[in-house]
Amino acid sequence: MMTPGLLLSLALGVGAPAAGTYYADVVYTGDGQTLERCAVTVADGKITALTPGVSPKDDAVRVKAITPGMIDLSARVANSPYSVEETYEVTPDFRVANTLDLFDVTWERHLQSGVTTVMASPYDDNCIGGLSVVLKTGGAKDVEKRTVRADAALRGAFGSQPSSRNHPAYGAPDDIFSRRPTTRMGVEWEWRKSFFDALYAQGELDAGTKVLRRALTGELPVFAQAWATQDVRTAVFLVEEMKAEGDAKMRLIVDCGAEAWREPELLVRSGAAVVLAPYDHDGRTTDGAFYALESAKTLTDLGVTVALSSHYAAGPGSVLGAQAGYAMRGGLTFDQALAAVTINPARLAGVDDRVGSLAVGKDADLALWNGTPFELSSRVVGVVLDGDLVVAPE
Amino acid sequence: MKNQVLSALSTTLAALAIALPAAAQNGDGNLVIKAGKVITNAGETLENGTIVIQNGRITAVGKDIEYPWNAQVREFPDAVAFPGFVEAHTTRGMDRANENIDVAAFLNVRDSIDPVNFYYEDALRAGITTINVQQGADCVVGGMGYVVKPVGMTVEQMTVRPNSGLAMSASPKRGKSRATQAQALRRAFDDLHRYLDETVQEKKEGKDYATREAMFQGREPDEETAKGRPMTGSAWKVEGLELVPRWELDEKQAPLLSVVEGKTRVFLFCGSPMEVMTALSIASENGFLHRTVLVLDNSCWKAADAIAERGVPVVLDPNLMYVERDPLTGEEQRTFVPKVFQDKGIEFALRSAGNSGQSLWYQAAICMANGLTREQAIAATTTVPAKLLGLGDRVGSLEKGKDGNVVLFSGDPLSVRSFVQNVVIEGNLVYDRATDTRAMHLDSGAQPDNTAPYDPNGDWKPHCCDDPTHEHVVKTDEGEDPQEVEEAPAKKHNHPVDGDKDGDKDKDADKQGEDK
Amino acid sequence: MLHAILFASALALGGEAPAPVIMTGGEPEAAPKVVTAFKAKRLYLGDGRALDDGMLIVADGVITAVGKDLDVPATAAVIEHDGVISPGLIALSSSDGAGGELYDSTRIALPDADAAHAFRPASHDFARERAAGITAVVLTPDERSLVGGTSAVVKTNGGVVVKRGAQLALGLSSAALHDNEFPTSYDGALRELDRLFDDPEGAISKAAAGNLPVLMSVGDRAEIQRALAFAARHHLSGALRGSYWAEELAPAIKASGFAVVCDPFDVGDESRGARSVKALSEAGVRFGFGLDAPARHPDCLRFAAASCVRAGVDPHVARRALTGDAAQIAGVGGRIGRLARGLDADLVLWSGDPIQLSSSIEAVYIDGVRVVGGER
């Protein structure tokens, strides 16, 4: 029986040492290196040394394997309607950071499962919901202190969800939902209109337009939920159109992407990346989209950058590590699967200078495993976050 | 709805049409399997081993062993041979798992098993070769289950062991409270007692009501039942039962009599720890504790001490992680259920979740990740369930004399990267992944010609699996039901959001009466 | 209708400058004083202190002296009470006696709404409160409004408004977020509040300038954090309304200088509420108790304090929370909440310690007038 909450509070309570050594039979650095019998030394929250081919010291925490702390760009840590301002369909400058509840159990679940960095995005009830933030899953209960990158992406959604509450003005109560869009076509229209308006806005720009301009120039990636084929296509076509119209550097990251496997060439052509939804229910997902087990492989083989996600980290089979396992079941190699939960998402979110791989000088975020990473017969038993052992192996 | 059923059926048929002929073609039950690795699950693992199956039974397992010159030999140099997994208890694979009357001991799943149900195909794909199909837990006393293999076009062809045990439930359903459920369960046995007393009394008085009723119902005596015999069993007895020829006993009561006489296994469902106490006491009072297998909700680990004390084996809920949230701190506390039972020395079997990605191989792997040894995890999906079903001498390992069931995995059976390549049941090759169109579709989305189009929403039934939102709030007040809490901050409205949006799953699963 | 409103306003105004002459500082007036001397086994002074075998002199509704062995004027009536006397209890965050008119659902921000206008002195609600020993309540705008207006401290007898514009009520909990109108999100609510406070008008400008305390409704822990950050951004002071989840954040609340209006308890509530109050008390945060009346019975106020004592809160602190500290939080500490010279003679005569639930109320005085209890 485990009581992680207790473990965590004990670990924090005793003031875990700022310096420490973690030893594993195998250390996977996340950027292609596999170091055997390796000690990872950390001090002041950073990795200070990786020493392979050594014997463990007595005071080292010893486990079977160490990977970088994992990164989940679609962690759904703010999955409440209160995280998006539904009064308008397009709210580019609203910040999800102001709506986070660090006391929610979802954070703890992600941390326990070895996910040390997540992107938090507004709930997908708006076409363009607002600004996502990248932050650590543990540490001080303070959003600012945990933030790795503020305004990391512009979040929005295609498909049926943004329009699901809207209704035509007639025959219905006159509330904020008496409005467009009521179809996925309308959702697309809202996106296009917003970007065109931003592109051609004159004079002093309002906050929303400024954010949209940052997305148009590629400074902010557009992180858009799209499950079904038609929604993936819509997202890609829209971004391609805007690139043609404005700045060619605009970036798209498709979130969920259940049917992205049907359009790999399109994604390659547009340079879009994909954050895949967790694999479950034999591939049956939202919006009637069918999610093939080999999605990650199909996309990776063609050169699309793929990251994996776990959404709620609800149980042993849905944590991010298990998702990497399922991606391997679908044909991904171990190194590709590892990259899809570490360095790939780090790059997509623009935080690879701090997290996503194990290297001297990077944040000391480690996942400690009791066996081969990503096999369902092993799991994360310990977590180091910013150099602190926040989940101690039993 | 009808369309969905039809389309599901046609997909099944299309898949079976390709998968099954193999079984029909070489149906003689003689096969020699050579595999790169043979995990016998009986103490040894052989590199390049051979398994000889004759007339559906294993006659030899070893390295470099002899086999008949004319035997059909199949070589799987890259595969790992493994005894099939044993599903100790499922309510799937049937046309509706539940009946809506309280005491229905006369029912038999034989009459509702659906041989072309998707479930059996999925079972093969997951390497499950033996399945105990039981009625759902809506009845207080349900009907008789069957142990089947997931191959065959009729129930008879599928049968491994008929009448594997009677389903009972201590868990209130259909508007009952826990108290009325317990009372109804007890009363089923009181009614039996009274019925037997009355029948014996009538015989003593020379009345032939029972004979006439039996004839009226169209029953006929056979050699076994033509005569009466004294009541056996350990709990209570009705003197003079030998006066009543057994064939004359009401068929509504006879299965329960068999239970009290200790002749029938009972699968007794408990939805909460306190129901475990009820179940154990009713089983003791009526003399079938030694024939009882408890089928448990995942909260029932809290009654593990009581279960251990009585030495009763259990079948665990598919959701192996018990999560409760402390209402005072908001913190989640997690208990890995199989570890509790392992540590208490209770025999336990695992069950598949309702989703082929989380079948028995998955459950065993999760057990390993959470502190069980590999041997313990595999036993809970093979030898232990075999023993619980009284099939310890027939399935669960690759040994001489056992059924010729062999699953050939592409790698280690518990690895997330391994697939079931072939399945041999009773010496017949019944599954080949190379021709499994549904597997092709699941993997790559491919839709081979001449197969029914895949309907993503057609037959989808979400199931309760790893779902910590199925939470139980710690309540100090014993009188109250554990309440389920919504996980996210109160939802203002419902959206057709993600398939794995948790809260709904439980409800749907409940609605179907699945696994409950 | 209009007449009724005017009438109510007149009454309220009348309360602010009470018609009966109030003696302050003991300056002699022509009219003869009504003087009463109270003697009791113990006086709880409302500031955490107790005085055994104490005395209290009240002249024309005002306390003129507190002490031992005081000289009793010859004209004074003497009431010897074989028990305990405390200041009248003060219920923060109440809507009793406001006829459900503290929430304007048509506007999310109504900073200049004045709860005193909803005050219905004749409401039967006040009889219940008097019987529970409550002599003053703080009528508080509803937490569903982003800016609900200002609260008013009123007496439960005599139509007296002790103070209007006492606190500016802000909604920072999910209760202020709406399903189908702005704001639906925390960020939307914060932006609107930031906008209002960046360019303040009316009551908001008073609050922004530090001349009006704010009362910020909060629920969960994240809401407490968000509220404190908002207050720091705009240099606000005042109190948080809602304590259930405050436990871990007690040090942060202390550091912010905010007081807390604690959620009331019912019998059978989880112990977390009391634990949070204990944590606040240990961190040295000033707190009082809200009374969700009429949803809750006024007796819950005293019950809440008793529950906290059971959870480990110092009884003196708990008594203070019901009286002196509550008055401080509502900004009326100079007028009610303590037994001290010059303060209103709002008294409760108990059979025993007020936070002992076995203690009963034998009499209640408001402005020196006996409002509960048989004899005069």
How close A177 comes to chain B (CA, Å)?
13
- A14 confidence band (pLDDT: 50, 70, 90): very low
Q: Nearest-CA distance from B492 to chain C in Å?
A: 6
How crowded is residue A189: how many other Cβ atoms within 10 Å of its Cβ?
14
A125: which chain B residues are within 8 Å (Cβ-Cβ)?
Answer: 495
User: In this complex, which of A105, A294, A328 lies closest to B443 when CB atoms are compared?
Assistant: A294
* Fold of the domain spanning C35-86+338-372: Urease, subunit C; domain 1 (2.30.40)
Residue C150's nearest CA partner among C96, C59, C211, C221 is C211
Res B176: pLDDT: 87
Looking at beta carbons, which residues of chain B come within 8 Å of C179?
Answer: 492-493
Question: Cα(B9)–Cα(B502) distance, rounded to whole angstroms?
Answer: 28
Mind telling me how many Å the CA of B464 is from chain A's nearest CA? 11
Q: What does the CA dihedral B224, B230, B235, B236 come to, rounded to 10 degrees?
A: 130
Superfamily of domain A70-348: Metal-dependent hydrolases (3.20.20.140)
Number of other residues whose CB lies within 10 A of the CB of residue A17: 12
Does residue A100 sit at the B interface (CB-CB below 8 Å)?
A: no
Judging contacts by C-beta atoms under 8 Å, the chain B residues touching residue A324 are none
**Residue A82 to residue C220, Cβ atoms within 8 A:** no
With CB atoms and an 8 Å threshold, state whether A375 touches B416.
yes
Closest CA in chain C for residue A123: C185
pLDDT (tens digit, 9 = 90+) per residue, A257-281?
A: 999 999 999 999 999 999 999 998 8
Nearest chain B residue to A283, by CA: B442
How many contacts does B have with C, using Cβ atoms within 8 A?
14
Contact assignment for C270 to B327 by CB distance below 8 Å: yes
Cross-chain residue pair C185–A99, CB shorter than 8 Å: yes
The verdict on a CB contact (< 8 Å) between C179 and B493 is yes
Per-residue pLDDT reduced to its tens digit, A205-262: 999 999 999 999 999 999 999 999 999 999 999 999 999 988 889 999 999 999 999 9
Six-digit token string for B50: 């051979």
A chain contacts of residue B445, beta-carbon cutoff 8 Å: 261-262, 290, 292, 294
Measure the CA–CA gap between B237 and B232, rounded to whole angstroms: 7
Closest B-chain CA to C180: B492
Nearest chain A CA: its distance from C145 CA (Å): 16
- Is 80 exceeded by the pLDDT of residue C168? yes
pLDDT greater than 60 at residue B252? yes
**pLDDT above 80 (res B448):** no
Contact C324, C337 (CB under 8 A): yes
Higher-confidence residue of B497 and A337: namely A337
Q: Higher-confidence residue: B471 or A161?
A: A161
| CA separation for the pair B200, B198 (Å, rounded) | 5
Does residue B433 contact residue B411 with C-beta atoms inside 8 Å?
no
Q: Output the pLDDT for position A289.
A: 92
CA distances, B127 to each of A280, B365, B405 (Å): 19, 14, 10
User: Could you say which of C184, C220, C270 has the minimum Cβ distance to residue B328?
Assistant: C270
Which 235-254 residues of chain A touch chain B by CB within 8 A?
none
A4 contacts on B by Cβ (under 8 Å): 332-334
Task: Return the domain boundaries, chain B.
Answer: 1-83+397-454
Inter-chain CB proximity C188 and A85 less than 8 Å: yes
Answer yes or no: do A100 and C222 touch at CB < 8 A: yes
Counting as contact any 3 or more CB pairs under 8 A, the partners of B are A, C
A112, A164, A281, A299: which to substitute to probe chain B, counting the most B Cβ within 10 Å?
A281
Give the A window 294-313 contacts with B, CB below 8 Å: 294, 298, 311-312
Alpha-helical segments (H) within B72-146: 118-125
B384: confidence class by pLDDT, cuts 50, 70, 90: very high
**C-alpha–C-alpha distance, residues C313 and C327, integer Å:** 19
CA distances from B368 to A391, B274, B353 (A): 20, 29, 17
Residue reference for tokens 């409704």: C217
Spell out which residues of chain A touch residue B350, defining contact as CB-CB under 8 Å.
none
pLDDT at A33: 93
3-state SS, one letter per residue, for B60-73: EEECCCCCCCCCCE
- Name all chains with 3 or more CB-CB pairs below 8 Å to chain C: A, B
A237 to chain B, minimum CA–CA distance in Å? 23
- pLDDT value at residue A15: 45
Does the domain at residues B1-83+397-454 carry the CATH identifier 2.40.40.20?
A: no
CB-CB under 8 Å, A375 with B415: yes
* Local confidence band at B459 (pLDDT 50, 70, 90 cut-offs): very low
* Residue C30 confidence (pLDDT): 57
Q: How confident is the model at residue B477 (pLDDT cuts 50, 70, 90)?
A: very low
The span from the CA of A145 to the CA of A141, in Å, is 8
B327 vs C contacts (CB less than 8 Å): 270, 272
- The encoded tokens of residue C104 equal 């304007």
Q: What is the mean pLDDT of residues B286-294?
A: 96
Q: For residue C9, is pLDDT > 90?
A: no
pLDDT at residue B170, as a whole number: 95
- Which residues of chain C have a CB within 8 Å of the CB of B325? none
Q: Among all residues of chain A, which has the CA nearest to that of C178?
A: A82
- Out of A103, A122, A130, the one facing C221 most closely (by C-beta) is A103
Q: Which residues of B touch C272 (CB under 8 A)?
A: 327-329
* Residue among C180, C190, C248 minimizing CB distance to A176: C180
| CB nearest to C179's CB, from B327, B330, B492 | B492
Q: What is the pLDDT of residue A314?
A: 82
Contact (CB<8Å) A280/B355: yes
What pLDDT was estimated at residue A194?
96
Whether the per-residue pLDDT at C53 is higher than 80: the answer is yes
Which pLDDT belongs to residue B173? 85
ipTM for this model: 0.91
The architecture CATH gives domain A4-68+361-391? Roll (2.30)
CB contact under 8 A, A81 and C183: no
Which pLDDT score, from 0 to 100, does residue A128 have? 96
End-to-end CA distance of chain B: 23
Percent of chain C with pLDDT over 70: 91
> How far separated are the first and last CA of chain A, in Å rounded?
11
DSSP B406-462: EEEESS-TT-TT--EEEEEETTEEEEEGGG-HHHHHHHH----TTSPPP-TTTS---
Burial C150-160 (b: 16+ CB within 10 A, else e): bbbbbbbbbbb
- For A292-314, the pLDDT digits (tens) are 999 999 999 999 999 999 998 88
CATH class of C89-329: alpha beta
